[in-house]
Amino acid sequence: MSQSYTVEEVAQLLRVSKLTIYDLIKKEELPIFRVGRQMRIDKNDLQSYIHQHKTGAAAPTLAADKIVICGQDIVLDMLGKYLERALGRKVLRSHEGSFNGVMSLYNGECDIASLHMYDGDTNEYNTPYLKKILVSHAYVLLNLVQRQAGFYVQKGNPLAIHSVADISTKNATIINREKGSGARALLDEQLRTHHIAPTHVLGYTNEEASHIDVAAAVANKQADVGIGIEKTAKLVNVDFVPLITERYDIVLLKTADNAALIEAVQAILQSDAFKAEVAALGDYDTAKTGQIMYETL
């Protein structure tokens, strides 16, 4: 069988961003096949693509008429749909976690990054992280939605998990999220502020890359508890233990080129039509949707 690569491996080989590879896949310039949920690229197909583009041209980049949104929540898909209608520009989606999404924004690889990163020292979401990461950039942070974050547990909550302390004291096995995700930040901060070492948590190093994968692992009894959002618990056969109301925000850089995009995003988020569509999904609070949570000068 021919060798194959992940999207990340191809991006590293070609020295471009993963978003560039996703764009090539979306335009069917680079064939893929799937192993479960993972996209893979055959070595021969990659070599064929390289051969076809040996013209001395620069490495492919995302077109200027496209908008790239980083994040996993379905509300971002809705925002993308509204933006396409409002601006007439194609919207691409990258399903990076919070930290990687912000780093993509920092590196000019996306236009909108979503994040839900909890800081245990301030009991605040997102702003403490952005102040450290985007120190050299002007930016605006807008609320997208508020939602409940907490624990996925097996039906009936047999271990009676009600707090982060219960994970340690009841020897519960967890399924974790990947490093850089907002859910991972929440768990790590909760463990830190409750003085629980990750080494004392069974399964801490076992990771999944999405809320639904974590919930499915709990439902399939591969773990006793996972960290995620309430909406997903209702899609999978698990119970949900709320831990915190989290602020799910989006951040955009304040540049002359971005002025129209920022204006359009604010108008969409503040519109009755968008809020009504989000509310119809259930389990989202739109009370702060479209409000500026933080803005640099």
8 Å CB contact between 253 and 163: no
Sign, CA torsion 181/185/188/194: negative
- How far is Cα of residue 254 from the mean position of the Cα atoms in its chain? 21
Please state the φ and ψ torsions of residue 139, each to the nearest 5 degrees: -155, 165
Distance CA 244, CA 295 (A): 24
> What's the chain's Rg over C-alpha atoms?
20
For the segment 158-211, what is each residue's pLDDT rounded down to a tens digit?
Answer: 999 999 999 999 999 999 999 999 999 999 999 999 999 999 999 999 999 899
For the segment 229-243, what is each residue's pLDDT rounded down to a tens digit?
Answer: 999 999 999 999 999
8 Å CB contact between 151 and 233: no
CA-CA-CA-CA dihedral for 82, 86, 90, 93, to nearest 10: -30
Tokens linked to 239: 């119970």
Distance CA 29, CA 254 (A): 33
The Cα-based distances of 78 to 57, 93, 124, 290, 291 in angstroms read 36, 11, 26, 14, 18
Distance CA 150, CA 290 (A): 24
Distance CA 99, CA 178 (A): 11
Question: Within 13 A of 206's CA, how many CA atoms are on the CB side?
Answer: 16
Give residue 15's pLDDT band: very low, low, confident or very high (50, 70, 90).
confident
Query: Averaged over 94-113, what is the pLDDT?
Result: 93
pLDDT of residue 54: 65
pLDDT of residue 186: 97
Query: Averaged over 143-167, what is the pLDDT?
Result: 97
Count of CB atoms situated within 10 Å of the CB of 261:
19
pLDDT of residue 1: 53
CA angle at residue 22 from 100 to 95, to 5 degrees?
40
8 Å CB contact between 280 and 227: no
Which amino acid is it at 107? N
CA angle at residue 94 from 88 to 98, to 5 degrees?
120
The structure's pTM equals 0.77
Q: What percent of the chain has pLDDT over 90?
A: 75
Give residue 20's pLDDT band: very low, low, confident or very high (50, 70, 90).
confident
Distance CA 80, CA 73 (A): 12
